């Protein structure tokens, strides 16, 4: 059995920015569901942070998420187990009040996992671990201690892993707690990394500039072989364009295809600018992109 794994989708991210919602919708329409269709995948495990805000929901963002994700999932007969993440919970010390349970309770095929439990997928037991807090800490450790599951999936804050590129989390629980499992998969950190035992799968798409040039995508887990396959998301929200006009013609400069950047943020990095008129023509060419300019120190 092959299962698609998502995590940290953050519906409503960036203050419910419409462009971000449309970017997320493109991922589902152009990347995620086409892959599931081609490979006849009928189940999803979501490892937390389905929603972005802990305290409230923007109804327009919720509607777009239902249109972009929930309805296409249901139309295909796909089901989903959704593990609670920290952004999904109203309180910090309990998972009792959480947005997935309250907002997706009537959506067919969606099963919200609020407490630690073992799920069986085609004969493979998987320990499911929602966000660990003061209230469920003891129960979580008891479940881990007593389970015979060899695979664990959750929304975990384990010390020693990269939260973003180059930024290591020094706090959280010890990875030794999960030593009994053969493999551990987790959401929470948006940068994809692993130590060979614990795998942080990373967010499926970009949210901020620190995500630029960082690999994004989703994963497919085979319950029979226990192989994990990474499916790259080629869509980007943050892009860098490098400008050089020394020893080039105007045709060379204007040959850049800006259609790829429509609807995204573009950072223009200027290396050489010998012809201001050409530069103005270059800057005026992109439409539908938000441009910002980074000047070299020598030009400030």
281 shares a domain with 195? no
Which of the two residues, 142 and 287, has the higher pLDDT score?
A: 142
User: How many other CB atoms are found less than 10 A from the CB of residue 185?
Assistant: 23
266 shares a domain with 139? no
Boundary-marking domain end, from 216, 232, 248: 232
Predicted local distance difference test score (pLDDT) of residue 164 = 84
What percentage of the chain exceeds 70 in pLDDT? Answer: 95
> What CATH number is attached to the domain comprising 33?
3.60.21.10
276 shares a domain with 138? no
- Mean pLDDT across 51-68: 97
196 shares a domain with 176? yes
Domain that holds residue 294: 238-299
- pLDDT tens-digit readout, 131-176: 999 999 999 999 999 999 999 999 999 999 999 888 899 889 999 9
Residues whose CB falls within 8 Å of the CB of residue 142, separated by 6 or more in sequence, listed in order: none
105 shares a domain with 193? yes
Boundary-marking domain end, from 232, 247, 271: 232
243 shares a domain with 228? no
CA dihedral 96, 99, 103, 104 (to 10 degrees): -80
Task: Give dist(CA 203, CA 213) in Å, integer.
Answer: 13
172 shares a domain with 96? yes
269 shares a domain with 198? no
**Shortest CA distance to 214 belongs to which of 157, 265, 163?**
163
Residue 283: band (very low, low, confident or very high) from pLDDT cuts 50, 70, 90? confident
Boundary-marking domain end, from 181, 205, 232: 232
Residue 101: band (very low, low, confident or very high) from pLDDT cuts 50, 70, 90? very high
The structural domain count of the chain equals 2
252 shares a domain with 172? no
Predicted local distance difference test score (pLDDT) of residue 263 = 85
Q: Is it the case that residue 251 has pLDDT exceeding 70?
A: yes
Residue 286: band (very low, low, confident or very high) from pLDDT cuts 50, 70, 90? low
* 184 exposure class (CB count in 10 Å sphere: 0-12, 13-18, 19+): buried
- Mean pLDDT across 33-60: 97
Task: Give dist(CA 70, CA 65) in Å, integer.
Answer: 7
Least confident among 96-110, 174-188, 249-263, 283-297: 283-297
271 shares a domain with 157? no
Q: Is it the case that residue 289 has pLDDT exceeding 50?
A: no
Q: Does the global pTM surpass 0.85? A: yes
């Amino acid at each position: 059995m092959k299962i698609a794994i998502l995590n940290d989708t953050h519906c409503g991210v960036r203050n419910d920015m419409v462009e971000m919602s449309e970017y997320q919708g493109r991922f589902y329409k152009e990347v995620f569901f086409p892959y599931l269709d081609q490979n006849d995948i009928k189940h999803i495990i979501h490892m937390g942070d389905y929603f972005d805000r802990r305290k409230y929901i923007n109804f327009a963002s919720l509607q777009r998420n239902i249109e972009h994700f929930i309805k296409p999932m249901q139309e295909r007969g796909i089901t989903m187990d959704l593990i609670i993440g920290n952004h999904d919970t109203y309180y910090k010390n309990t998972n009792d009040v959480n947005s997935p349970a309250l907002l997706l309770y009537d959506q067919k095929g969606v099963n919200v996992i609020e407490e630690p439990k073992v799920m069986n997928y085609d004969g493979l037991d998987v320990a499911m671990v929602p966000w660990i807090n003061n209230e469920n800490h003891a129960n979580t450790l008891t479940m881990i201690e007593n389970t015979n599951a060899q695979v664990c999936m959750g929304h975990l804050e384990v010390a020693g892993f990269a939260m973003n590129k180059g930024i290591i989390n020094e706090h959280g629980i010890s990875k030794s707690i999960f030593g009994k499992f053969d493999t551990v998969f987790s959401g929470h950190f948006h940068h994809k990394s692993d130590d060979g035992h614990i795998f942080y799968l990373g967010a499926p798409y970009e949210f901020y500039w620190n995500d630029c040039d960082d690999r994004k995508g989703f994963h497919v887990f085979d319950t029979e072989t226990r192989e994990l396959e990474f499916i790259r998301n080629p869509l980007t929200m943050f892009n860098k364009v490098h400008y050089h006009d020394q020893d080039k013609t105007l045709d060379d400069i204007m040959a850049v295809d800006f259609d790829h950047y429509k609807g995204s943020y573009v950072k223009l990095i200027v290396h050489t600018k010998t012809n201001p008129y050409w530069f103005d023509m270059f800057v005026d060419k992109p439409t539908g992109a938000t441009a910002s300019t980074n000047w070299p120190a020598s030009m400030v």
